[in-house]
A and B are shown apart, each in its own frame.
Chain A
């Protein structure tokens, strides 16, 4: 099809200069980015084989076409994924270990989507091609996706399995929010071990624990809310404990302040160590340190 072989107008940034670009883009896109793949294109779609004229005028927005794009193997950790793939918006194709395309998607955050897929189906997410889309509004992203889909179908005669309607492997919504952990069975139940010991066990047995005010689904303080937001943006599996819960976490606030030698909430623990409150978490999130901490 002629449309697909059009010369490039916008070239995606190379991976080499990505590190500079990414820091800008993280802040630029962070409030709007959705690291989960967009579900809108998975159901059904129509080929544009007849509308060549239209397709060729729009295809200029797409990045490189699928066959020209470089195949990148997906690293073994979330932190390396964040380092290898840009957090820009664009189109991407996921390949399994046989080198077959499993899914073609678009996203506001390529690295985020790759990480999400890698976490949910590591065996199908072995390598990835991506194209950054400049001016990534919905139209441009959709066009980029269409052009990659058309190209793939033209070559293989097949729709990628993950794009067939009814296949939810790649578009699964993030799991429902977990319940907050409770430290005690209730305030009227006599504890057999000191509260301090329960805290100690909790933070050592769970990789990431956030002590927040209110529940994780409805934090009652702005700082706790920000902490929950950051942990979810990092895509990390974490436990939360509501320090305001007087029934099940009675006495926790005072005991935790002493345990951690930290006078305020929220408090975030990773591998049993206090990493700080909202300020520290925010700054580590911005510098990328946090992702490094979670990948271990």
Chain B
């Protein structure tokens, strides 16, 4: 998939970071590429890595939202990425208060 490779100027992780940051005004945002753990996974054969990520995000916008809603907000922000080969994201989505309470 050379053509796609050429288009990827920024790494997917960086693009995800920018998109999540602007969509959710995150006060904490950690993105970890764990694609290597899933190499050889049937569904990702042929794509050039950057398929699986762990995302930890703290945002005031999660306030009052159910877990499903929070995850949807993250997925919505990353819709384009999900259509272009991002396969799975493990999401920890918390509000600033929830992390403070810990």
Q: Give the interface of A toward B (CB within 8 A).
A: 213, 220-223, 244, 261-264, 274-280, 283-284
* Separation of A263 and B71 alpha carbons in the complex (Å): 10
Interface check B102, CB cutoff 8 A: no
Q: How far is the CB of B86 from chain A (nearest CB, A)?
A: 9
Interface check B24, CB cutoff 8 A: no
* Separation of A264 and B78 alpha carbons in the complex (Å): 12
Q: Contact: A264 with B68, CB < 8 Å? A: no
Taking CB as reference atom, which chain A residue is nearest B37?
Answer: A222
Q: Contact: A280 with B75, CB < 8 Å? A: no
Q: Contact: A220 with B92, CB < 8 Å? A: no
Q: Contact: A278 with B68, CB < 8 Å? A: no
Q: How far is the CB of B46 from chain A (nearest CB, A)?
A: 16
Number of interface residues of B (CB under 8 A): 17
With contact pairs A263-B82, A264-B87 given, residues A280 and B42 touching in the complex (Cβ less than 8 Å): no
* Separation of A279 and B53 alpha carbons in the complex (Å): 13
Interface check B89, CB cutoff 8 A: yes
Q: Chain B contacts of A276 at CB under 8 A?
A: 67-68, 71
Q: Contact: B67 with A262, CB < 8 Å? A: no
Q: Chain B contacts of A263 at CB under 8 A?
A: 75, 79, 82
Give the one of A221, A263, A276, A277 with max B CB within 10 A.
A263
1/0 per residue, CB under 8 A from A, across B49-90: the answer is 000000000000000000110011001000100100001111
With contact pairs A262-B75, A264-B89 given, residues A283 and B67 touching in the complex (Cβ less than 8 Å): yes
Q: Contact: B42 with A220, CB < 8 Å? A: yes
Query: Which residue of B38, B67, B79 contacts A280 across the interface (Cβ within 8 Å)?
Result: B67
Q: Chain A contacts of B42 at CB under 8 A?
A: 220, 244
Chain B residues 1-60 with CB under 8 Å of chain A are 38, 41-43
